[in-house]
Amino acid sequence: MTPEQPPAESARYRWTVLIMLTVVYTFNFIDRQILVILQEPIKADLGLSDAQLGLLTGFSFALVYVTAGIPIAWLADRSNRRNIVVASLTFWSFMTAISGLVQNYGQLLAARIGVGVGEAGGSPPSHSMISDYFPPSSRGTALSFYSMGIYIGVLFGFAAGGWIAENFGWRNAFFVIGIPGILYALAVFWVVREPKRGQYDPGGVPAKSSLKETMAHLSSRPTFWWISVGCAFTAFVSYGNGNFMPSFLMRNHGLSLSEVGVILGLISGLSGATGTFLGGFLADRLSVQDMRWYIWIPMLGALSAMIPAYYTLLGDNTTLIIAAMIPSQILGALYLGPCIATCHNSGIARHARHGLGDPLLCAQHHWARPGPANGGDSQRCFCGRLWRKQLTLRHGLDPHH
C-alpha cells in the first residue's frame, strides 16, 4: 500500500468516524466553555472575584490539561486509542455534571480540575486516529473539520448554557450539559473502530519512541517549535479575550445572560467553524502548487483579523462591536487546521503522531491560557498576534525545517 492508497475502511466509514470524533470534541468544548458563560451568576452566588474566575477558566485548567496530556498520550501510543477517548469523554462529562452540586470555590476548582484531566485524553488520541484514517493529501481538511468541534461546542455551550442558567439556574445548566456526554460515549464505543497504526506512513508503523528519543527528534525540528509557539500566542489572545467576553458584554454593554449566550454562541460558533474549515480546505488545495501555503494562510488570516479585532475590543457601538466579531472570528480561526496538519505531514509525524508531539503541541496551545483578567486585553491581542507573525515570517517559510 502506497501512502496515498485508501485503507480497507470505506470513505463513508472514515467520515463517520471523523464526524463522531468531532462531536466528541464538541462535547469537550461545551463542557470547557460552559463555565465561561455561567461565571457571572456563579460569581454572584458563591461570592467569587475576577481573579478566582480567571484561575478557574485559565491557569489551573491549563496546568492540569497539559500535565495530564503527556502520560495519557504515552498510554495512547501503547493501547487502544478509541477506548481512551471513550473513557475520557465519560469522565469529563461526569465531572461537568457534578459541578452543579458545588457549594464553594474549592469544590468548584476540584470539579474543574477533574474536567481538565478528562479532556486531556480527548485530542491526542483523536488526532492520531484521524491521521491513520486520512492520507496526507486530505489530512488538513480532516483535521480542520475535527477542529470545527471547538466552535460548535462554543455555540451550544454559550447559547444553551446562557438560556438554561437564566431560566432554570446555573446548577441545572451543568447537569443538562454534562449528562448527554456520558450517553454519547457509549455510541462512540460501539461505532468507532481502532484504525491500523501508521497505514499512511512510509515504511508502515514506526518503532515506539521513548520520551528521550521523541524530544531529541523534536529538538531537531524547528518548525514544530515555532508552530507550537505561534499557536500558544494565538491561544493566549483568543482564550484571554474569549473567557471574559461574556462578562465584558454584560458589564460594559448591558446585555443579559441569555442575549450574550445567543450572540456569542452564534458568532463564535458559526464564524469560528467556518474559518477553521476554510483554513484546512484552502491549505490542502493551494499547497499542491506550494507547500508554504500551510504557513501563509495562518499568517495572512491572523494579520487580517487584527483590524476587526481592534474595534471589537475598543469600540463604543454595541451593534458594530458584535458585527466586527464575525470577520475577526473567521480570519482568526484559519490557523488551526494548517498548523496541525503541517506537524502531521512533515517528518515530525513519525515521532510526534505516535509519541508526544500532539500533547506537546496541545500543551503550547493551552499553556498560554491567561489567568485573571487585568484590563490588558487589547494589548494582549496585538502583542500576541504580532509575535506570531514575526515567528512565522522568520522561521515558518523554510521548507527544510
- The answer as to whether 188 is a domain residue is yes
Residue 116: give its domain's CATH number: 1.20.1250.20
- DSSP, collapsed to helix, strand or coil, labels residue 325 as helix
Are 69 and 153 contacting, i.e. CB atoms less than 8 angstroms apart? no
Instruction: Report the alpha-carbon distance of residue 34 to residue 53 in Å, rounded.
Output: 13
Counted domains in the chain: 1
Residue 5 falls inside a structural domain: no
The verdict on residue 3 lying in a domain is no
CB count within 10 Å of CB 1 equals: 11
Q: How far is CA 39 from the centre of its chain?
A: 20
Q: Are 121 and 66 in contact (CB under 8 A)?
A: no
Q: Give the model confidence (pLDDT) of 221-277 as tens digits.
A: 787 888 888 888 888 888 778 888 888 899 889 899 889 999 998 998 888 888 988
Domain hosting residue 375, numbered range: 11-198+207-396
Spatial separation of the C-alpha atoms in residues 227 and 24, rounded to whole Å: 25
Q: Using N-to-C axis directions, what is the helix angle for 11-46 and 105-119, rounded to 10°?
A: 170
| In the predicted structure, residue 125 carries a pLDDT above the cut 80 | yes
Instruction: Please indicate, yes or no, if residue 373 is contained in any of the structural domains.
Output: yes
Burial class (CB in 10 A: 0-12, 13-18, 19+), 2: exposed
Q: What is the pLDDT of residues 205-232, one digit of tens each?
A: 556 666 677 777 777 778 788 888 888 8
Q: How far is CA 207 from CA 123, 134, 286, 353, 398, in A?
A: 22, 20, 33, 12, 28
Name the grid cell of 333.
480561526
Q: How confident is the model at residue 287 (pLDDT cuts 50, 70, 90)?
A: confident
Chain segment 29-64, per-residue pLDDT in tens: 898 888 888 988 999 999 998 888 888 877 777 788
pLDDT tens digits for 316-358? Answer: 899 999 999 999 999 988 888 788 777 766 555 455 444 444 4
Dihedral, CA of residue 83, residue 269, residue 49 and residue 120, to nearest 10: 20
